[in-house]
A and B are shown apart, each in its own frame.
Chain A
């Protein structure tokens, strides 16, 4: 099914470990974003990309890296996990040049716990 696929769905990390959250979309969307969701704070933008090879920082980028080597994939890397990064992470994509549809599609989320 077309959409945004996030893996893994759940992950437990120890403080200091690194990992990559995967995000892939098959809708030829140009824009991709990563958000984190914490209780009482809605979703906050971590990093975003307006196309392959182009990324930029959002509201809360510290401790995270991204790259966009292809249109389809936008992985989020945690360099050295900290308990403050315990959160639910959402990947979202938007804008299809073919349809001029600017709607956002969200992945199902990754629940990350750092102990």
Chain B
């Protein structure tokens, strides 16, 4: 069965510093996709970054990068140069079948990030 684990209920970081949010996953499917979403206090789900299991390079999107370690089954989100607006809940999620397949996006419990000035 799929499982997503986020072991950090809360994190804080100083503005302009980098922060890593941890995510480990468990699946027996060789084809899968990993997502990170941001949920600010307003409640909407904002897509940040995606990594497919067969992608050779780690995904990057602006200040976001995904540290994908397939053998360890980890997909940590790295936010560089943190900004006050990065304060939010962050969710790691996984879908079996990297390019479609099943429509089951399974989420971790989330990490609440607080950025301090």
Give chain A's interface residues, CB within 8 Å of chain B.
31-33, 35, 40-45, 48-50, 58-59, 88, 90, 92, 94-95, 102-106, 108-109
Q: Is the CB of B109 within 8 A of A42?
A: yes
Q: Are B110 and A45 in contact (CB under 8 A)?
A: no
Which residue from A43, A102, A108, A109 sits with its C-beta under 8 Å from B33? A102
Pick 20 A–B contacts, CB within 8 A, sort by A: A32-B103, A33-B105, A42-B4, A42-B91, A42-B107, A42-B108, A42-B110, A44-B107, A45-B104, A45-B105, A48-B103, A88-B43, A92-B45, A92-B105, A94-B103, A95-B103, A102-B100, A103-B47, A106-B44, A108-B43
Q: A48-B103, A50-B103, A104-B35 are in contact. Are A41 and B45 (CB under 8 A)?
A: no
Q: Give the CA-CA distance A43 to B103 in the complex, in Å.
A: 14
B106 within 8 A of A: yes
Judge whether B44 and A109 touch: CB under 8 Å. yes
Interface residues of B (CB under 8 A from A): 4, 6, 9, 33, 35, 37, 43-45, 47, 50, 91, 93, 99-100, 103-110
Give how many A-B residue pairs fall within 8 Å (CB-CB).
Answer: 54
Which B residue's beta carbon lies closest to that of A105?
A: B47
Asked, given contacts A40-B109, A102-B33, A103-B50, whether A58 binds B43 with beta carbons under 8 Å apart, the answer is no
**Given known A48-B104, A49-B103, A94-B103, contact A109–B43 (CB-CB < 8 A):** yes
Q: Are A43 and B104 in contact (CB under 8 A)?
A: no
Alpha-carbon separation in the docked complex, A92 to B91 (Å): 15
